Amino acid sequence: MPDWRVRLGAYLARVAHLPYRPGQHDCALFAAGAVQAMTGTDLAAAWRGRYRRLEDGQAALQAAGFASHVDLAASLFPEVVPSFAQAGDVAVFEADGAGQALGIVQGGAAYVLRPEGLALVSRLHMQRAFRV
């Protein structure tokens, strides 16, 4: 969609201060929301609202055959070297010792979800990236 950048910017502004809530607004659903804003396809429709604890979301992923939300992303998008990631691509970061988190690349940084809302993290910390 030619206006994906505008729609991604509007999505980021809309969710910037939403509280972190597993099953409603966590890192995986944040990234899926960004993908939906850019493409019009909701890849998380089957997951959103179906769990209230990350442990329950992880169990649902495993029941569906995925080891993690990162493995689910890897099944949906081609992986690229993090240094080649472009605006709108899905980024993978270490989440302060709590496993891996998904974010969205924007320029020299990526948006990630923190308990207080969105934050920017340097691309230098990206572990993996997926082309949207």
Whether the per-residue pLDDT at 60 is higher than 90: the answer is: yes
List the one residue out of 60, 55, 58, 78 whose CA is nearest residue 68.
58
111 and 118 Cβ atoms separated by less than 8 Å: yes
Domains and CATH numbers, the chain: 4-130 (3.90.1720.10)
- Please state, in angstroms and rounded to a whole number, the distance separating the CA atoms of residues 19 and 31: 15
Q: How far apart are CA 6 and CA 117, in angstroms?
A: 20
Mean pLDDT of all residues in 79-98 = 92
User: Which residues neighbour 118 within 8 Å (Cβ) at sequence distance 6 or greater?
Assistant: 12, 15, 16, 17, 30, 111, 112
Mean pLDDT of 116-129: 93
| pTM score | 0.93
Mean pLDDT confidence for 111-131: 92
Q: What is the pLDDT of residues 47-58, one digit of tens each?
A: 899 999 989 999
Say how far apart CA 116 and CA 94 lie, in whole Å.
17
Q: Is the pLDDT of residue 97 over 80?
A: no
